[in-house]
Amino acid sequence: MSQQQIARRTFLRGVGLTMGLPLLDAMMGATAHAAAASPPVRAAFVFFPNGAIMPSWKPTGEGEQYELSETISVIERHRSDFNVLTSLAQDNGRAKGDGAGDHARCSSTFLTGSHPVKTSGADIKVGVSVDQMAAEKIGHLTKLPSLELGIENGRNAGSCDSGYSCAYSNNVSWKNPSTPMAKEVNPRLAFERLFGSRGDTKSAKERDFYRKSILDYVQQDAVLLRQRLGKTDRRKMEEYFQSVRELEKRIAQSAVKPGRDLPADVESPTGVPDNLEEHIKLMYDLMVLAFRTDTTRIASFMLGNAGSNRAYRMVGVDGGHHELSHHRDDEEKVEQLQKVDGFLIKQFGYFLDQLKAIPEGNGNLLDQSIVLYGSGLSDANRHRHDDLPVILAGKAGGSIQTGRHLVMQSETPMNNLFLSILDRLGAEVESIGDSSGRLTVLS
């Protein structure tokens, strides 16, 4: 059977939902159409709270011949796919006469580069975040303009940090200066954002929907599409469907308490997983799925709210993360924080694993992406907003040279990096926060 060309924005449709497809050979078409159908560049912004133990984070040496630090060596297998950026700062995270509240400022400035108005009332104001600047420019090209995920719930009212609104501590994505983009922490609900859901009431039909795979609802469309595909594309489709079904199963199982069986007449659970590692991995997998299907090209993910005091008992850390971050150079507390840093970057390595495992174009999905991993604080003990811990993974379609330690001039605005990211997304803007120009060292 000769392969027929199909449109890049082809969806499988079911009752009340649509299912995006990965990039198939049939979407590339003839040579004349290849350029127009080339893979788009995606961007993910991953925030972790409470800074890092910087002596264990910062590599030694510069350029390609640098030595990985203790913390970052956890993802050494991806060395050729990322850059470590040193000396970036978010100056607007500093007090500037507003006193305490560095954790609220670190998250609210992380992607906006703007100084938040100190208030615990409704008159919040900071700036537009880089992900939402991108969504404004290119969001119309995808089903979802952007995707916002997190691990911890958090309210947007009241004070969470020294007179700063909880909205500042609990969000890194801002649609406009007074409107944060609410993040989704529930994997099931995030999955439904990608594909849609059926039914508005707790009915038998709705329970049936949750018990069945989304693939069952698009089966008829899938059969028709397979008839138009070549052998290679049919294999890609099978691999994609298998990954979706496995993700559905993991989401359902993750919310079932140990020792509990799910009765046959009860819908799949929609709760947040108790297991933190599984929760994080599910959210990373959802971002991969969103990028793979071009459901969105922009995502943000908060591994914790600013000032999060979560314990990481799975790696032997019983104390609260925020409390430990004020370690006053206590060796035992520093060691505990190093374990947290290592745990979080290990999960980030999992995200890179999944992106690299998906072929796309002449490379893989990570090659077509820009993934920023970092915090709005470096040394949380001293509440420093300079020399931030930042990793930039992915080649952005070949426009970023990776495998290097890039040491910039001290106090280089992190917002310069954001301008360079937006350029590669096709979402150019003139300035962000205190930006002073593009980062030319990326190419």
Q: Rounded to an integer, what distance in angstroms lies between the CA atom of residue 343 and that of residue 87?
A: 24
Pairing verdict, β 369-374 and 42-47: parallel
Q: Secondary structure of the chain in the HEC alphabet?
A: CCCCCCCCCCEEEECCEEEECCCCHHHHCCHHHHCCCCCCCEEEEEECCCCCCHHHHCCECCECCCECCCCHHHHHHHHHHEEEEEEEECHHHCCCCCCCCHHHHHHHHHCCCCCCCCCCCCCCCCCCCHHHHHHHHHHHHCCCCCEEEECCCCCCCCEEECCEEHHHHCCCCEEECCEECCCECCHHHHHHHHHCCCCCCCCHHHHHHHHCCHHHHCHHHHHHHHCCCCHHHHHHHHHHHHHHHHHHHHHHHHCCCCCCCCCCCCCCCCCCCCCHHHHHHHHHHHHHHHHHCCCCCEEEEECCCCCCCCCEHHHCECCCHHHHHCCCCCHHHHHHHHHHHHHHHHHHHHHHHHHHCCEECCEECCCCEEEEEECCCCCCCCCCCCCCCEEEECCHHHCCCCCEEEEEEEEEEHHHHHHHHHHHHCCCCCCCCCCCCCCHHHC
The total of other beta-carbon atoms located within 10 Å of residue 196's CB is 16
pLDDT value of residue 157: 86
pLDDT in tens, 125-151: 999 999 999 999 999 999 999 999 999
pLDDT value of residue 258: 52
Amino acid identity for residue 306 in this structure: A
What's the burial of 375, exposed, middle or buried (CB within 10 Å: 0-12/13-18/19+)? buried
Contact 12, 218 (CB under 8 A): yes
Each residue's pLDDT, cut to its tens digit, for the chain (443 residues) gives 345 678 877 888 876 678 888 888 888 764 444 444 579 999 999 999 999 999 999 999 999 999 999 999 999 999 999 999 999 999 999 999 999 999 999 999 999 999 999 999 999 999 999 999 999 999 999 999 999 999 999 888 899 999 999 999 999 999 999 999 999 999 999 998 888 764 444 444 554 555 577 888 788 888 888 888 888 889 989 999 999 989 988 988 887 655 444 444 434 445 789 899 999 999 999 999 999 999 999 999 999 999 999 999 999 999 999 999 999 999 999 999 999 999 999 999 999 999 999 999 889 999 999 999 999 999 999 999 999 999 999 999 999 999 999 999 999 999 999 999 999 999 999 999 999 999 999 99
pLDDT in tens, 106-132: 999 999 999 999 999 999 999 999 999
Query: Residue ranges per domain, the chain?
Result: 1-38+198-271, 42-185+272-442
Cα–Cα nearest to 329, from 386, 380, 377, 387: 380
pLDDT value of residue 37: 57
Q: Rounded to an integer, what distance in angstroms lies between the CA atom of residue 438 and that of residue 187?
A: 36
The domain covering 42-185+272-442 belongs, at the CATH homologous superfamily level, to Alkaline Phosphatase, subunit A (3.40.720.10)
